[in-house]
Amino acid sequence: MSGRRGWALSALLLALGATAVRADAPPPDAPIVRDRLVAWGHRPHFGPRAIDTIVVHSSYDALGPAPYDLDGLLAEYRQYGVAPHFVIDRDGGIWRTVAERDVAWHAGRSRMPDGRAGVNAFSLGVELMTTRTDSVTAAQYEALNALIARLAREHPIRHVVRHRDIAPERKDDPWGCDWRRVAQPGQP
C-alpha cells in the first residue's frame, strides 16, 4: 500500500488509536499506583478472575532496622512466600506487588462471613504499612479509599473485610485502623 490511500489509512488508524487512549484514560480522581511486582507469593491465573472481595491487612518489616522500608518488607514477604496485591506506605504511596488477575497468598486459612473459604481465590489483598503500636495515617486512609474506589470500578466488589474478620482465631490485623474510615463500595 502506498500513496494517498495508505496515508489516509494511517491517519484513520492514528485517529482510532487516539480515541482508544482517551477511552482508557483513568478518571481524574484515580490513585497513582506504582508497580513493584514480585516473583513469589502468588500463582498466575489465566483469563478473567471473579473478584468480589478486598481484604485489608497491616504489616511492617519486623526483621530489619526500619519498620517502614518497602524493600525490607518485601524481603520479609519473600521469606514467608507470601504477597499482597498492593502495599500502601506511610505516605499513602500505593505499590502494586501482584497483578490483580493473579491469585496472591495473603489471606491464609480463612472464611468469609457468608461461609466461603479459600478467600485468596476471589479476593485482592491490600497491606497497610503499620506496626502494632502505630496507627494508620490520614494519607493511608485516603489512598486506601481511592484504591477501593478504583478496584470497585474494575471488579464487582461486594465485600471489604479485615483480615481479622475472616481469620479471627489466627489474625488481629489491620492494627491501629479505624474501620469506620474505610469505604464500603455501594454504601455512602
Binding mask 165-184 for Zn ion (x = CB under 5 A): --------x-----------
| Count of residues making up the chain | 188
Taking CB under 5 A as the criterion, which residues in 91-110 touch Zn ion? none
| Choice between 57 and 159, CB closer to Zn ion | 57
CB of 39 within 8 A of CB of 154? Answer: no
- Give the total of residues touching Zn ion (CB under 5 A): 3
| Choice between 113 and 188, CB closer to Zn ion | 113
Q: Cell 490513585 belongs to which residue?
A: 31
Establish if 164 lies at the interface with Zn ion (CB under 5 A).
Answer: no
Segment contacting Zn ion by CB under 5 A, of 28-36, 63-71, 87-95, 159-167: 159-167
Segment contacting Zn ion by CB under 5 A, of 9-17, 28-36, 139-147, 160-168: 160-168
CA-derived radius of gyration, the chain: 19
- Based on the number of CB atoms within 10 Å of its own CB, is 71 exposed (0-12), middle (13-18) or buried (19 or more)? exposed
Establish if 163 lies at the interface with Zn ion (CB under 5 A).
Answer: yes
| Residue 93, C-beta contacts closer than 8 angstroms, at least 6 positions apart | 34, 143
Q: Which has the closest alpha carbon to 33: 144, 117, 136, 132?
A: 144
Establish if 57 lies at the interface with Zn ion (CB under 5 A).
Answer: yes
Distance CA 131, CA 122 (A): 27
| Choice between 10 and 79, CB closer to Zn ion | 79
List of residues contacting Zn ion (CB under 5 A) = 57, 163, 173
